[in-house]
Structure 1
C-alpha cells in the first residue's frame, strides 16, 4: 500500500467504538450462552479481532465487570433524567434483567467480590433515592424484589423473559414502566476510552 492508499489512523475514536461494541456484544453473547461463552464469540459479534478484545479487557472477569458497570451507569442515567420515577427506573432495571445473565447474578446474590458489591451498592443507592414504593418497600426490600424477579426471569425467548418479569413485578404489587435501555451518549463512550 502506498501512503495515499492507507486509511487514516483514527486512534482513540476507533478504540472507544471497539470497546463499546465489545461491551454490547458481551451482553448479548453472555445472555445467549452464559458467562462461560467463548470470548472469541464476543469478539466476532463485536466485529473486532480477539487481540482488540484483550487490549481492552485482560480477561473474562474484566469484560463481565465492564458490562455490569455499563448496566449500572444506564440505570443511574435513567434515575438522573428530569422525568425519572421509580417506575421508569425499574423499567430499565427489568430491561437489563431480561438481557444480561451477569446482571441477574449480580443482583441476585449481590456479587462475589468488592467490585460486584460496589456495583450492587450503586443500584441500591439509585433505588433508595426514590423512597418507598408500591407497598412502602424500602431500598433493601426493592433489591430483594429485584433479586426475586431475576430468579423468575426464564424462558427461551426475549419476549417470554419480558412477559415473566412483568408478571412477577405485578405479583409483588410493584408498578414497572416500559422496558427500555437508556441511550448511550458520546460522552459515555469517551469516558469508556479514558
Structure 2
C-alpha cells in the first residue's frame, strides 16, 4: 500500500479551546440573525452555514434546537441585566437595549410572550425563569413620565409585550421603527437602540 503524497503546505494549527469558544460565539450570533429572518423554526443547518461551521460543530455545542434558542435567549437577558445594573442606567437606556433585542431576536419576543401555550410550553419553566430575570432587571427602571400609567414593573412588562407585537418587518430597521412608534404611542421615551456594550 502506498502512502498518499504529503503536501508541502502546512496545515493550520489546531486552536483547541480558542476555536471552540469562537465557534460557539459565531453560532449564537448566526442563530440570532437566522431567527430574526426566518423565526424559531429555521433549520439548524442554516445556522451552521451562517456561522461558517459544519453541523457537527453545532451539535457539539448545542444538542438540539431548544439549546440553540436557549443560548440566544440567555445572551439577550444577560445584556439587559448588565444594562440595568450599569451605574449610569436610566429607564431610557435600559429600554433602548431591550428594544434592540426585540428588533434582533424573534426568540426573545417569544420569551417575553410565553404563556404556556404553543411552542413556548416545551421549556416553559426555563422561559418563565428568563422572563422573570428580565422583569427583575426592569424593576426600578419605570419611565418617569409616560402617557399611560405604569405603576409597577408588571405594567412595564405588559407594555413590553405590547411593543413586541408591533415588531414586524423584513429588516431590522423597519422593526426598530415600528417598535419606537409603539413606545411613542404608549408615551414612553426610549434611549438609543443598541446592544449593551460594557
Q: TM-score range by the shorter chain?
A: 0.7 to 0.9
- In 2: Cα distance, 1:57 partner to 1:41 partner: 14
Q: Secondary structure at the match of 1:41?
A: helix
Select between 105-114 and 167-176 the one with higher mean Cα deviation.
105-114
Q: Which residue does 1:115 correspond to in 2?
A: 126
Please list every run of 5 or more consecutive structure 1 residues that lacks an aligned counterpart in the other structure: 186-194
Answer yes or no: is 1:20 the counterpart of 2:34: no
- RMSD value, Cα: 1.9
- In 2: Cα distance, 1:51 partner to 1:11 partner: 16
Q: Which residue does 2:48 correspond to in 1?
A: 43
Deviation at 1:131, TM superposition (A): 4.7
Report the TM-score when normalising by structure 1.
0.88
- In 1: Cα distance, 2:8 partner to 2:181 partner: 60
Q: Which has the larger radius of gyration?
A: 2
Matches within 5 A, 1:170-185: 170-183=184-197
Q: Secondary structure at the match of 1:174?
A: coil
Please list every run of 5 or more consecutive structure 2 residues that lacks an aligned counterpart in the other structure: 1-5
Deviation at 1:106, TM superposition (A): 0.8
Answer yes or no: is 1:34 the counterpart of 2:47: no
Equivalent residues of 1:97, 1:103 under 8 A apart: yes
Of 95, 100, 103, the residue aligned with 1:95 is 100
Number of paired residues? 184
Q: 1:93 to 1:29 in 2, by over 3 A?
A: same
